[in-house]
Amino acid sequence: MALSVRSQHNSNQPTCYSRAVSKPDSRRSPQPMACHSRGNPREWATLILYGGLNMVQSVATAPTLNVKQTQRKISKAKDDAIAMRKHLWPEVTDAHLWLLDDKKKKGFSSIPRTMPILMNIINDASKQVSSKSVPAGRTYLVLWCRVFGEGIVKIENETVAASEAGYVSERGITTWREHLRVLKELGFIDYKQGPAGPMQFILLHNPYFVVKDIRAKKWLQEGQYTAFLHRAMEIGAAPDLA
């Protein structure tokens, strides 16, 4: 039998229907929805727009993978990557690489995979809390490279931290502190005074919550947020943006 959905408001609205078989048949794939419009292209655009929004909402609210499914997916991706690496660079051994699984290697840091986009968002949004756009994204990267997973960074030497962010002039510390202030005003961090300086202890907030707040304030271009959301969906971080 056929299930039809027709608009009762305007006969020119697109008419959509889907074919359904009377008995389930595992050998047959579900029939796609077919749409026929007697209206103009704007009606098609409206249908596509709302369909796209529904798709984004359904992806954002879709149930996440359980632990075993996630581990299985990561394991397969890892095996595939290793196989491709050995195919393309057969002469390169594990000893030549900086591998996370190598317990002899030290100095790793866990940072958001969306960091490149986050840095761009910070640089663009900085003009909302400063007189001009400033590259505070580099300062944010330095903080994440210094955190150990507890969400707090301790800066013992501001001169060294400022140089890591590229501020090596006489005003290096002043620039470092100004960019920390920008990050705090945007909501990415908070800081407290310590014996080594006024911003020695720095707290890193969840960047996905911060981006959501920045977007609500309309400090973020929608195209940039779409790119961020798309990347978050790829890595399974979209629920924090819901």
On the question of pLDDT at 12 being above 90, the answer is no
Domain ranges of the chain: 2-61, 65-108, 112-241
Res. 15 pLDDT band, cuts 50 70 90: very low
Res. 222 pLDDT band, cuts 50 70 90: very high
pLDDT value, residue 65: 63
pLDDT value, residue 100: 83
Q: What is the pLDDT of residues 80-97, one digit of tens each?
A: 999 999 999 999 999 999
On the question of pLDDT at 121 being above 60, the answer is yes
For residue 157, which of 107, 200, 99, 93 has the smallest C-alpha distance?
Answer: 200
On the question of pLDDT at 26 being above 60, the answer is no
Q: What is the pLDDT of residues 31-74, one digit of tens each?
A: 444 444 444 544 444 433 444 444 445 444 545 567 787 788 77
Average pLDDT over residues 124-144: 96
Q: How many CB atoms lie within 10 A of CB 236?
A: 13
Q: Percent helix, strand, coil in the chain (nearest 5)?
A: 50, 10, 40
pLDDT value, residue 186: 98
The secondary structure of residue 166, as a DSSP letter, is T
Q: What is the pLDDT of residues 165-201, one digit of tens each?
A: 999 988 999 999 999 999 999 999 999 999 999 999 9
The secondary structure of residue 130, as a DSSP letter, is S
| Residue 123 three-state SS | helix
